[in-house]
Chain A
Protein backbone atom coordinates (compact mmCIF):
# COMPACT_ATOMS: atom_id res chain seq x y z
CA UNK A 1 0.00 0.00 0.00
CA UNK A 2 1.42 3.31 -1.04
CA UNK A 3 1.85 6.22 1.31
CA UNK A 4 -0.79 8.36 -0.41
CA UNK A 5 -3.25 5.50 -0.21
CA UNK A 6 -2.53 5.08 3.51
CA UNK A 7 -3.04 8.79 4.11
CA UNK A 8 -6.31 8.69 2.16
CA UNK A 9 -7.54 5.73 4.23
CA UNK A 10 -6.73 7.63 7.40
CA UNK A 11 -8.49 10.75 6.17
CA UNK A 12 -11.61 8.68 5.54
CA UNK A 13 -11.37 6.93 8.90
CA UNK A 14 -10.99 10.21 10.79
CA UNK A 15 -13.80 12.05 8.99
CA UNK A 16 -16.56 10.71 11.23
CA UNK A 17 -14.61 11.26 14.48
CA UNK A 18 -13.94 14.85 13.35
CA UNK A 19 -17.67 15.44 13.54
CA UNK A 20 -17.50 14.86 17.29
CA UNK A 21 -14.87 17.56 17.72
CA UNK A 22 -16.98 19.89 15.62
CA UNK A 23 -20.06 18.96 17.65
CA UNK A 24 -18.34 19.74 20.97
CA UNK A 25 -17.08 23.09 19.72
CA UNK A 26 -20.29 24.07 17.92
CA UNK A 27 -22.55 23.17 20.84
CA UNK A 28 -20.54 25.01 23.49
CA UNK A 29 -19.51 28.16 21.59
CA UNK A 30 -22.91 29.87 21.19
CA UNK A 31 -23.90 29.25 24.82
CA UNK A 32 -20.47 30.33 26.03
CA UNK A 33 -20.71 33.46 23.90
CA UNK A 34 -24.01 34.52 25.46
CA UNK A 35 -22.93 33.76 29.02
CA UNK A 36 -19.60 35.52 28.45
CA UNK A 37 -21.35 38.77 27.51
CA UNK A 38 -23.31 38.63 30.77
CA UNK A 39 -20.20 37.72 32.77
CA UNK A 40 -18.15 40.51 31.20
CA UNK A 41 -20.89 43.01 32.04
CA UNK A 42 -20.90 41.51 35.55
CA UNK A 43 -17.17 42.02 35.97
CA UNK A 44 -17.56 45.58 34.69
CA UNK A 45 -20.51 46.16 37.03
CA UNK A 46 -20.37 48.86 39.71
CA UNK A 47 -21.96 46.48 42.22
CA UNK A 48 -18.92 45.12 44.13
CA UNK A 49 -20.55 41.76 44.90
CA UNK A 50 -21.41 41.04 41.26
CA UNK A 51 -18.04 42.32 40.08
CA UNK A 52 -16.04 40.27 42.61
CA UNK A 53 -18.00 37.09 41.92
CA UNK A 54 -17.59 37.45 38.16
CA UNK A 55 -13.86 38.15 38.50
CA UNK A 56 -13.41 35.16 40.79
CA UNK A 57 -15.20 32.86 38.35
CA UNK A 58 -13.09 34.11 35.44
CA UNK A 59 -9.88 33.79 37.44
CA UNK A 60 -10.65 30.28 38.65
CA UNK A 61 -11.47 28.88 35.24
CA UNK A 62 -8.62 30.62 33.46
CA UNK A 63 -6.14 29.74 36.19
CA UNK A 64 -6.66 25.99 36.22
CA UNK A 65 -6.16 23.37 33.51
CA UNK A 66 -9.14 22.35 31.41
CA UNK A 67 -7.96 18.76 31.79
CA UNK A 68 -8.62 18.94 35.55
CA UNK A 69 -11.90 20.77 34.97
CA UNK A 70 -13.13 17.89 32.81
CA UNK A 71 -12.25 15.37 35.51
CA UNK A 72 -13.83 17.56 38.16
CA UNK A 73 -17.12 18.01 36.29
CA UNK A 74 -17.35 14.36 35.36
CA UNK A 75 -16.69 13.18 38.91
CA UNK A 76 -19.18 15.69 40.33
CA UNK A 77 -21.82 14.49 37.87
CA UNK A 78 -20.93 10.94 38.81
CA UNK A 79 -21.34 11.68 42.52
CA UNK A 80 -24.69 13.38 41.88
CA UNK A 81 -25.89 10.46 39.77
CA UNK A 82 -27.37 8.32 42.59
CA UNK A 83 -29.00 11.24 44.43
CA UNK A 84 -30.24 13.42 41.55
CA UNK A 85 -29.99 12.15 38.02
CA UNK A 86 -31.15 8.60 38.53
CA UNK A 87 -34.20 9.42 40.71
CA UNK A 88 -35.13 12.11 38.21
CA UNK A 89 -34.78 9.60 35.37
CA UNK A 90 -32.43 11.77 33.33
CA UNK A 91 -29.22 9.83 33.98
CA UNK A 92 -29.01 8.74 30.33
CA UNK A 93 -28.82 12.41 29.38
CA UNK A 94 -26.92 13.94 32.31
CA UNK A 95 -24.22 11.27 32.32
CA UNK A 96 -23.66 11.24 28.57
CA UNK A 97 -20.28 12.56 27.44
CA UNK A 98 -22.21 14.39 24.74
CA UNK A 99 -23.72 16.49 27.54
CA UNK A 100 -20.89 16.67 30.09
CA UNK A 101 -18.30 17.54 27.42
CA UNK A 102 -20.10 20.66 26.22
CA UNK A 103 -21.01 21.52 29.84
CA UNK A 104 -17.35 21.65 30.89
CA UNK A 105 -16.38 23.42 27.68
CA UNK A 106 -19.10 26.03 28.18
CA UNK A 107 -17.94 26.74 31.75
CA UNK A 108 -14.39 27.10 30.47
CA UNK A 109 -14.94 29.12 27.32
CA UNK A 110 -17.30 31.45 29.18
CA UNK A 111 -14.43 32.48 31.46
CA UNK A 112 -11.92 33.00 28.64
CA UNK A 113 -14.39 34.81 26.39
CA UNK A 114 -15.64 36.97 29.26
CA UNK A 115 -12.09 38.14 29.92
CA UNK A 116 -11.74 39.10 26.24
CA UNK A 117 -15.08 40.92 26.26
CA UNK A 118 -14.24 42.64 29.55
CA UNK A 119 -11.01 43.99 28.03
CA UNK A 120 -13.01 45.20 25.01
CA UNK A 121 -15.72 46.75 27.23
CA UNK A 122 -13.13 48.99 28.83
CA UNK A 123 -12.17 50.44 25.44
CA UNK A 124 -15.72 51.63 24.65
CA UNK A 125 -15.35 55.43 24.29
CA UNK A 126 -16.76 57.24 27.35
CA UNK A 127 -17.94 60.15 25.18
CA UNK A 128 -20.20 57.91 23.10
CA UNK A 129 -21.78 56.46 26.24
CA UNK A 130 -22.39 59.95 27.63
CA UNK A 131 -23.85 61.13 24.34
CA UNK A 132 -26.24 58.18 24.30
CA UNK A 133 -27.30 58.89 27.86
CA UNK A 134 -27.75 62.57 27.03
CA UNK A 135 -30.15 61.53 24.28
CA UNK A 136 -32.25 59.94 26.99
CA UNK A 137 -31.63 56.35 25.93
CA UNK A 138 -32.49 53.57 28.33
CA UNK A 139 -29.68 51.31 29.57
CA UNK A 140 -30.73 48.58 27.17
CA UNK A 141 -30.70 51.03 24.27
CA UNK A 142 -27.23 52.29 25.25
CA UNK A 143 -26.00 48.72 25.32
CA UNK A 144 -27.56 47.87 21.97
CA UNK A 145 -26.49 50.96 20.05
CA UNK A 146 -23.16 51.93 21.65
CA UNK A 147 -21.58 49.34 23.95
CA UNK A 148 -22.24 46.19 21.93
CA UNK A 149 -21.08 47.38 18.47
CA UNK A 150 -17.91 48.88 19.92
CA UNK A 151 -17.16 45.90 22.10
CA UNK A 152 -17.67 43.16 19.54
CA UNK A 153 -15.48 44.88 16.93
CA UNK A 154 -12.59 45.26 19.35
CA UNK A 155 -13.02 41.75 20.74
CA UNK A 156 -13.48 39.86 17.46
CA UNK A 157 -9.81 39.06 16.59
CA UNK A 158 -9.15 37.81 20.12
CA UNK A 159 -12.43 35.90 20.08
CA UNK A 160 -11.35 34.20 16.86
CA UNK A 161 -8.27 32.98 18.69
CA UNK A 162 -10.40 31.74 21.55
CA UNK A 163 -12.62 29.80 19.14
CA UNK A 164 -9.64 27.98 17.63
CA UNK A 165 -8.27 27.21 21.09
CA UNK A 166 -11.63 25.88 22.17
CA UNK A 167 -11.66 23.70 19.08
CA UNK A 168 -8.22 22.39 20.05
CA UNK A 169 -9.47 21.83 23.58
CA UNK A 170 -12.12 19.44 22.30
CA UNK A 171 -9.24 17.00 21.79
CA UNK A 172 -9.19 16.55 25.57
CA UNK A 173 -12.82 15.47 25.93
CA UNK A 174 -12.38 11.75 25.37
CA UNK A 175 -9.18 11.56 27.38
CA UNK A 176 -11.29 12.27 30.45
CA UNK A 177 -14.82 11.10 29.65
CA UNK A 178 -15.86 7.52 28.89
CA UNK A 179 -15.96 6.48 25.24
CA UNK A 180 -19.32 4.97 24.40
CA UNK A 181 -19.44 2.64 21.40
CA UNK A 182 -18.64 4.45 18.20
CA UNK A 183 -18.51 7.92 19.76
CA UNK A 184 -14.84 8.73 19.26
CA UNK A 185 -13.16 12.00 18.48
CA UNK A 186 -10.09 12.58 16.32
CA UNK A 187 -7.49 12.01 19.03
CA UNK A 188 -9.25 8.93 20.29
CA UNK A 189 -9.50 7.37 16.85
CA UNK A 190 -5.90 8.28 16.04
CA UNK A 191 -4.71 6.63 19.27
CA UNK A 192 -6.80 3.56 18.45
CA UNK A 193 -5.32 3.34 14.95
CA UNK A 194 -1.87 3.79 16.45
CA UNK A 195 -2.40 0.92 18.86
CA UNK A 196 -3.29 -1.31 15.92
CA UNK A 197 -0.14 -0.89 13.81
CA UNK A 198 2.11 1.48 15.85
CA UNK A 199 2.44 3.90 12.94
CA UNK A 200 2.62 7.06 15.02
CA UNK A 201 3.84 9.32 12.21
CA UNK A 202 1.00 8.54 9.82
CA UNK A 203 -1.99 8.60 12.16
CA UNK A 204 -0.95 11.57 14.28
CA UNK A 205 0.04 13.60 11.23
CA UNK A 206 -3.36 13.06 9.65
CA UNK A 207 -5.02 13.94 12.98
CA UNK A 208 -2.89 17.09 13.11
CA UNK A 209 -3.84 17.85 9.53
CA UNK A 210 -7.52 17.72 10.44
CA UNK A 211 -7.00 20.17 13.29
CA UNK A 212 -4.88 22.43 11.10
CA UNK A 213 -7.42 22.49 8.25
CA UNK A 214 -10.39 23.15 10.53
CA UNK A 215 -8.40 25.86 12.35
CA UNK A 216 -7.69 27.53 8.99
CA UNK A 217 -11.38 27.26 8.09
CA UNK A 218 -12.34 28.94 11.38
CA UNK A 219 -9.89 31.77 10.71
CA UNK A 220 -11.27 32.16 7.19
CA UNK A 221 -14.93 32.31 8.23
CA UNK A 222 -14.29 34.57 11.20
CA UNK A 223 -12.14 36.76 8.97
CA UNK A 224 -15.06 37.19 6.57
CA UNK A 225 -17.31 38.13 9.47
CA UNK A 226 -14.69 40.61 10.66
CA UNK A 227 -14.42 42.16 7.21
CA UNK A 228 -18.19 42.63 7.21
CA UNK A 229 -18.13 44.15 10.70
CA UNK A 230 -15.47 46.61 9.60
CA UNK A 231 -17.05 47.50 6.24
CA UNK A 232 -17.80 51.06 7.39
CA UNK A 233 -14.09 51.79 7.78
CA UNK A 234 -12.12 53.22 4.83
CA UNK A 235 -10.10 50.45 3.15
CA UNK A 236 -6.67 51.72 4.13
CA UNK A 237 -7.61 52.14 7.78
CA UNK A 238 -9.14 48.70 8.14
CA UNK A 239 -7.21 46.54 10.57
CA UNK A 240 -5.85 43.25 9.34
CA UNK A 241 -8.08 40.26 9.48
CA UNK A 242 -7.33 37.83 12.28
CA UNK A 243 -4.74 35.40 11.05
CA UNK A 244 -3.04 32.26 12.27
CA UNK A 245 -0.90 34.00 14.83
CA UNK A 246 -0.12 33.98 18.49
CA UNK A 247 -2.64 34.78 21.16
CA UNK A 248 -1.04 32.90 24.01
CA UNK A 249 -3.23 34.55 26.65
CA UNK A 250 -6.19 32.58 25.46
CA UNK A 251 -4.85 29.05 25.38
CA UNK A 252 -5.88 26.62 28.09
Chain B
Protein backbone atom coordinates (compact mmCIF):
# COMPACT_ATOMS: atom_id res chain seq x y z
CA UNK B 1 0.00 0.00 0.00
CA UNK B 2 2.70 2.43 1.11
CA UNK B 3 4.89 1.33 -1.76
CA UNK B 4 2.07 1.87 -4.20
CA UNK B 5 1.48 5.35 -2.88
CA UNK B 6 5.19 6.17 -3.11
CA UNK B 7 5.25 4.91 -6.71
CA UNK B 8 2.28 7.00 -7.76
CA UNK B 9 3.59 10.08 -5.99
CA UNK B 10 6.96 9.72 -7.69
CA UNK B 11 5.37 8.89 -11.04
CA UNK B 12 2.93 11.78 -11.06
CA UNK B 13 5.54 14.34 -10.01
CA UNK B 14 8.36 13.37 -12.35
CA UNK B 15 9.77 16.00 -14.68
CA UNK B 16 7.64 15.06 -17.65
CA UNK B 17 4.46 15.22 -15.61
CA UNK B 18 5.38 18.64 -14.27
CA UNK B 19 5.83 19.78 -17.87
CA UNK B 20 2.42 18.27 -18.62
CA UNK B 21 0.81 20.21 -15.78
CA UNK B 22 2.56 23.38 -16.93
CA UNK B 23 1.21 22.90 -20.47
CA UNK B 24 -2.28 23.64 -19.16
CA UNK B 25 -1.22 27.27 -19.39
CA UNK B 26 -1.41 27.13 -23.21
CA UNK B 27 -5.01 25.95 -23.06
CA UNK B 28 -5.95 28.59 -20.50
CA UNK B 29 -4.15 31.40 -22.33
CA UNK B 30 -5.72 30.42 -25.65
CA UNK B 31 -9.18 30.31 -24.07
CA UNK B 32 -8.85 33.67 -22.30
CA UNK B 33 -7.20 35.64 -25.10
CA UNK B 34 -9.21 33.88 -27.78
CA UNK B 35 -12.36 34.93 -25.92
CA UNK B 36 -11.20 38.54 -25.58
CA UNK B 37 -10.39 38.72 -29.30
CA UNK B 38 -13.69 37.04 -30.14
CA UNK B 39 -15.43 39.75 -28.17
CA UNK B 40 -13.57 42.45 -30.10
CA UNK B 41 -14.27 40.81 -33.48
CA UNK B 42 -17.84 40.22 -32.39
CA UNK B 43 -18.43 43.86 -31.56
CA UNK B 44 -16.85 44.91 -34.87
CA UNK B 45 -18.86 42.31 -36.77
CA UNK B 46 -22.11 43.36 -35.12
CA UNK B 47 -21.37 46.99 -35.98
CA UNK B 48 -20.57 46.01 -39.58
CA UNK B 49 -23.86 44.16 -39.85
CA UNK B 50 -25.73 47.18 -38.54
CA UNK B 51 -23.81 49.52 -40.82
CA UNK B 52 -25.61 51.79 -43.28
CA UNK B 53 -22.71 51.34 -45.70
CA UNK B 54 -23.70 48.38 -47.92
CA UNK B 55 -20.23 46.89 -48.73
CA UNK B 56 -19.51 46.71 -45.01
CA UNK B 57 -22.79 44.85 -44.50
CA UNK B 58 -21.92 42.40 -47.28
CA UNK B 59 -18.54 41.85 -45.69
CA UNK B 60 -20.28 41.00 -42.42
CA UNK B 61 -22.60 38.57 -44.20
CA UNK B 62 -19.76 36.86 -46.09
CA UNK B 63 -17.72 36.58 -42.87
CA UNK B 64 -20.60 34.87 -41.11
CA UNK B 65 -21.38 32.55 -44.02
CA UNK B 66 -17.76 31.45 -44.35
CA UNK B 67 -17.38 30.65 -40.69
CA UNK B 68 -20.73 28.89 -40.66
CA UNK B 69 -20.18 26.80 -43.79
CA UNK B 70 -16.60 25.72 -43.20
CA UNK B 71 -15.28 23.56 -40.34
CA UNK B 72 -13.43 25.42 -37.59
CA UNK B 73 -10.44 23.07 -37.94
CA UNK B 74 -9.90 24.29 -41.49
CA UNK B 75 -9.89 27.92 -40.36
CA UNK B 76 -7.75 27.08 -37.39
CA UNK B 77 -5.07 25.62 -39.65
CA UNK B 78 -5.51 28.01 -42.54
CA UNK B 79 -5.17 31.32 -40.76
CA UNK B 80 -1.75 30.75 -39.10
CA UNK B 81 -0.33 29.18 -42.28
CA UNK B 82 -1.69 31.98 -44.46
CA UNK B 83 -0.35 34.58 -42.07
CA UNK B 84 3.08 32.95 -42.00
CA UNK B 85 3.21 32.85 -45.80
CA UNK B 86 2.07 36.44 -46.15
CA UNK B 87 4.84 37.58 -43.84
CA UNK B 88 7.35 35.42 -45.71
CA UNK B 89 6.20 36.91 -48.99
CA UNK B 90 6.56 40.45 -47.64
CA UNK B 91 9.97 39.53 -46.28
CA UNK B 92 11.07 37.99 -49.59
CA UNK B 93 10.45 41.31 -51.37
CA UNK B 94 13.36 42.82 -49.50
CA UNK B 95 15.75 39.95 -48.79
CA UNK B 96 15.49 37.76 -51.90
CA UNK B 97 16.96 38.41 -55.33
CA UNK B 98 14.62 39.03 -58.25
CA UNK B 99 15.47 35.75 -60.01
CA UNK B 100 14.83 33.76 -56.83
CA UNK B 101 11.41 35.37 -56.51
CA UNK B 102 10.61 34.57 -60.16
CA UNK B 103 11.08 30.85 -59.48
CA UNK B 104 8.30 28.62 -58.28
CA UNK B 105 10.00 27.37 -55.11
CA UNK B 106 8.61 28.36 -51.75
CA UNK B 107 9.96 30.16 -49.82
CA UNK B 108 11.84 31.98 -52.61
CA UNK B 109 15.14 31.99 -50.71
CA UNK B 110 16.26 30.56 -47.34
CA UNK B 111 16.56 34.03 -45.81
CA UNK B 112 12.79 34.51 -46.15
CA UNK B 113 12.00 31.24 -44.39
CA UNK B 114 10.33 31.88 -41.05
CA UNK B 115 10.31 29.46 -38.16
CA UNK B 116 7.62 30.32 -35.66
CA UNK B 117 8.05 29.38 -32.04
CA UNK B 118 5.38 28.17 -29.65
CA UNK B 119 4.67 31.71 -28.46
CA UNK B 120 4.05 32.96 -31.97
CA UNK B 121 1.86 29.99 -32.83
CA UNK B 122 -0.06 30.54 -29.60
CA UNK B 123 -0.72 34.17 -30.57
CA UNK B 124 -1.85 33.07 -34.03
CA UNK B 125 -4.06 30.40 -32.48
CA UNK B 126 -5.68 33.05 -30.28
CA UNK B 127 -6.32 35.22 -33.34
CA UNK B 128 -7.86 32.32 -35.30
CA UNK B 129 -10.05 31.44 -32.34
CA UNK B 130 -10.99 35.11 -32.18
CA UNK B 131 -11.94 35.15 -35.87
CA UNK B 132 -13.97 31.93 -35.73
CA UNK B 133 -15.85 32.68 -32.54
CA UNK B 134 -16.03 36.38 -33.31
CA UNK B 135 -18.59 35.48 -35.96
CA UNK B 136 -20.72 33.68 -33.37
CA UNK B 137 -20.26 36.56 -30.91
CA UNK B 138 -21.25 39.06 -33.60
CA UNK B 139 -24.49 37.19 -34.05
CA UNK B 140 -25.18 37.09 -30.32
CA UNK B 141 -24.42 40.79 -29.86
CA UNK B 142 -26.46 41.70 -32.93
CA UNK B 143 -29.46 39.95 -31.42
CA UNK B 144 -28.88 41.44 -27.98
CA UNK B 145 -28.67 44.99 -29.38
CA UNK B 146 -32.12 44.52 -30.86
CA UNK B 147 -33.47 43.15 -27.59
CA UNK B 148 -32.79 46.33 -25.63
CA UNK B 149 -36.18 48.01 -25.03
CA UNK B 150 -36.71 50.93 -27.42
CA UNK B 151 -38.06 53.08 -24.58
CA UNK B 152 -34.68 53.19 -22.87
CA UNK B 153 -33.00 54.53 -25.99
CA UNK B 154 -35.77 57.05 -26.51
CA UNK B 155 -35.42 58.17 -22.90
CA UNK B 156 -31.74 58.75 -23.55
CA UNK B 157 -32.53 60.81 -26.63
CA UNK B 158 -35.16 62.75 -24.73
CA UNK B 159 -32.49 63.72 -22.23
CA UNK B 160 -30.61 65.32 -25.11
CA UNK B 161 -27.89 62.68 -25.50
CA UNK B 162 -26.22 62.43 -28.91
CA UNK B 163 -26.51 59.19 -30.95
CA UNK B 164 -23.03 58.20 -29.84
CA UNK B 165 -23.83 58.85 -26.19
CA UNK B 166 -27.00 56.78 -26.45
CA UNK B 167 -24.94 53.97 -28.00
CA UNK B 168 -22.15 53.94 -25.40
CA UNK B 169 -24.04 54.96 -22.27
CA UNK B 170 -27.26 53.01 -22.72
CA UNK B 171 -27.36 50.66 -25.68
CA UNK B 172 -24.07 48.78 -25.18
CA UNK B 173 -24.44 48.69 -21.40
CA UNK B 174 -28.00 47.35 -21.43
CA UNK B 175 -27.13 44.91 -24.21
CA UNK B 176 -24.94 42.66 -22.00
CA UNK B 177 -27.90 41.32 -20.03
CA UNK B 178 -29.45 39.97 -23.21
CA UNK B 179 -26.12 38.83 -24.64
CA UNK B 180 -24.96 36.83 -21.61
CA UNK B 181 -26.79 33.53 -22.34
CA UNK B 182 -25.50 33.55 -25.92
CA UNK B 183 -22.00 34.53 -24.85
CA UNK B 184 -22.02 31.67 -22.38
CA UNK B 185 -22.70 29.31 -25.27
CA UNK B 186 -19.91 30.78 -27.37
CA UNK B 187 -17.49 30.48 -24.45
CA UNK B 188 -18.36 26.81 -24.03
CA UNK B 189 -17.67 26.24 -27.74
CA UNK B 190 -14.42 28.14 -27.53
CA UNK B 191 -13.14 26.06 -24.61
CA UNK B 192 -13.77 22.93 -26.62
CA UNK B 193 -11.91 24.39 -29.59
CA UNK B 194 -8.81 24.99 -27.43
CA UNK B 195 -8.19 21.25 -27.62
CA UNK B 196 -6.99 21.78 -31.20
CA UNK B 197 -3.82 23.67 -30.20
CA UNK B 198 -1.61 20.64 -30.80
CA UNK B 199 -2.40 20.91 -34.52
CA UNK B 200 -0.29 24.09 -34.56
CA UNK B 201 2.76 22.36 -33.12
CA UNK B 202 2.06 23.65 -29.63
CA UNK B 203 2.95 21.07 -26.99
CA UNK B 204 -0.33 21.38 -25.17
CA UNK B 205 -2.17 18.97 -22.88
CA UNK B 206 -3.36 16.75 -25.74
CA UNK B 207 0.18 16.36 -27.07
CA UNK B 208 1.56 15.62 -23.60
CA UNK B 209 -1.18 13.07 -22.92
CA UNK B 210 -0.10 11.20 -26.05
CA UNK B 211 3.57 11.41 -25.05
CA UNK B 212 3.14 10.35 -21.42
CA UNK B 213 0.65 7.59 -22.16
CA UNK B 214 2.71 5.80 -24.82
CA UNK B 215 4.40 2.61 -23.65
CA UNK B 216 7.29 3.71 -21.48
CA UNK B 217 10.51 1.70 -21.42
CA UNK B 218 13.64 2.71 -19.54
CA UNK B 219 16.88 0.66 -19.76
CA UNK B 220 17.42 1.04 -16.00
CA UNK B 221 13.88 0.29 -14.88
CA UNK B 222 12.57 -1.99 -17.63
CA UNK B 223 9.00 -1.49 -18.79
CA UNK B 224 7.57 1.25 -16.57
CA UNK B 225 4.10 0.96 -18.03
CA UNK B 226 2.34 -0.28 -21.13
CA UNK B 227 -0.02 1.77 -23.26
CA UNK B 228 -1.72 4.14 -20.83
CA UNK B 229 -2.93 6.65 -23.37
CA UNK B 230 -6.57 5.73 -22.76
CA UNK B 231 -6.17 6.78 -19.11
CA UNK B 232 -4.58 10.12 -20.00
CA UNK B 233 -7.20 10.95 -22.65
CA UNK B 234 -9.98 9.97 -20.26
CA UNK B 235 -8.52 12.39 -17.71
CA UNK B 236 -8.63 15.16 -20.33
CA UNK B 237 -12.20 14.17 -21.23
CA UNK B 238 -13.19 14.55 -17.57
CA UNK B 239 -11.15 17.76 -17.26
CA UNK B 240 -13.12 19.40 -20.07
CA UNK B 241 -16.44 18.29 -18.56
CA UNK B 242 -15.46 19.93 -15.27
CA UNK B 243 -14.39 23.13 -17.05
CA UNK B 244 -17.81 23.18 -18.74
CA UNK B 245 -19.56 22.63 -15.40
CA UNK B 246 -17.52 25.39 -13.76
CA UNK B 247 -18.10 27.84 -16.61
CA UNK B 248 -21.84 27.26 -16.44
CA UNK B 249 -21.81 28.06 -12.72
CA UNK B 250 -19.82 31.25 -13.28
CA UNK B 251 -22.15 32.39 -16.05
CA UNK B 252 -25.19 31.62 -13.89
CA UNK B 253 -23.83 33.90 -11.14
CA UNK B 254 -22.84 36.54 -13.69
CA UNK B 255 -26.34 36.53 -15.17
CA UNK B 256 -27.89 36.79 -11.71
CA UNK B 257 -25.59 39.73 -10.98
CA UNK B 258 -26.27 41.48 -14.29
CA UNK B 259 -30.00 41.04 -13.89
CA UNK B 260 -30.14 42.37 -10.32
CA UNK B 261 -32.96 44.83 -9.87
CA UNK B 262 -34.77 43.64 -12.99
CA UNK B 263 -38.23 42.10 -12.79
CA UNK B 264 -38.02 38.30 -12.77
CA UNK B 265 -39.89 37.45 -15.94
CA UNK B 266 -38.66 40.13 -18.37
Residues of A at the B interface (CB closer than 8 Å) are: 59-60, 63-69, 71-72, 75-76, 78-79, 168-169, 171-172, 175, 187, 191, 194, 197-201, 204, 207-208, 211-212, 215-216, 244-246, 248-249, 251-252
Contacts and interface: CB of A to CB of B under 8 A. Distances in A.
Given A65-B192, A201-B82, A212-B69, 17 more contacts: A65-B195, A71-B233, A71-B236, A72-B234, A171-B71, A172-B71, A175-B199, A187-B77, A197-B104, A200-B78, A201-B85, A204-B77, A246-B136, A248-B136, A248-B140, A248-B185, A249-B185
Nearest to B197: A67
A75 B106 contact: no
A246 B64 contact: yes
Most buried by B among A197, A211, A248: A248
B227 A72 contact: no
B contact patch SS? helix
B106 to A, nearest CB: 4
Contacts of A191: 77
A199 B106 contact: yes
A75 B213 contact: yes
Contacts of A75: 213, 227, 229-230, 232-233
Given A59-B241, A60-B241, A71 B209 contact: yes
Contacts of B141: none
A211 B71 contact: yes
Contacts of B69: 211-212, 215-216, 244
Nearest to B243: A63
B237 A69 contact: yes
Given A65-B240, A200-B81, A208 B74 contact: yes
Closest 10 CB pairs of A and B: A63-B244, A168-B71, A75-B229, A65-B195, A75-B230, A64-B240, A72-B233, A65-B192, A198-B106, A212-B69
Contacts, number: 127
Contacts of A66: 192
Given A67-B206, A252-B192, A78 B106 contact: no
A248 B230 contact: no
